Amino acid sequence: MPATDRVKLHELYFQPLLSQEAIHQRVVELGKELHDRLDSGDPSFIIMLKGAFVFAADLVRASRLSGEIGFVRTSSYSGTETEGEVRLLIPPEEDLIRNKDVVLIEDIIDSGLTMRSFLPKLRKMSPRSITLVTLLHKPQAQRVDVAIDLIGFTIAPKFVVGYGLDYDGLGRQLPAIYQLEEAY
């Protein structure tokens, strides 16, 4: 692979995993799938900040559904590792959840700890339904069960960046997705 394909963020190197085109194609498919599932109503799109902001912007438009958009912010990663404790920094607005069909949009489900912490809080707010969509899923890294409704790509248990995902704050604006190089 040409050295120029690699990306350096802080001290780490990352190599291409999913191209812009592959992501776009899959997001269009996910949008159609969401449209078919939620055709009858105006869902609330709840976007997990910061990581899901790029995926959600594309997915919401690809779905061609109307409905309100809200944001939640959780945080638990330091570098490439979860700290285990999931902080809810921005909770959802109650009126976007109660009696609503909620489409919860995540960039990645890795250990599953973020969803294990957040989903019970969301359920307590009495949504009519929850549809959990994630662009990326790492089944081999998952430590707890999470019921995921729609998955964009199943990937290996390696740290990834780009298309909203960061390594220590960097890399979110990369248009493609890159994975950590094993040896360099």
Tokens of 168: 């220590």
Residue located via tokens 């809080």: 121
* Catalytic annotation, residues: 110
In terms of DSSP H, where are the helices of 13-126?
20-38, 53-63, 113-123
Residue 166 as a binder of ligand PRP (CB under 6 A): the answer is: yes
- Interacting residues with ligand HPA (CB under 6 A): 51, 77, 108, 110, 159-161, 165-166
Q: Considering beta carbons, is residue 2 or 159 the nearer one to ligand PRP?
A: 159
Q: Considering beta carbons, is residue 58 or 110 the nearer one to ligand HPA?
A: 110
Choose the stretch contacting Mg ion; rule: CB under 5 A; options: 73-81, 98-106, 129-137, 175-183: 73-81
Residue 133 as a binder of ligand PRP (CB under 6 A): the answer is: no
Residue 112 as a binder of ligand PRP (CB under 6 A): the answer is: yes
CA distance 42 to 101: 7
Residue 48 as a binder of ligand PRP (CB under 6 A): the answer is: yes
- Burial (CB < 10 A; 0-12, 13-18, 19+), residue 30, is buried
Tell the smallest beta-carbon distance from residue 160 to ligand HPA (Å).
4
Nearest to 17 by CA among 184, 183, 176: 176
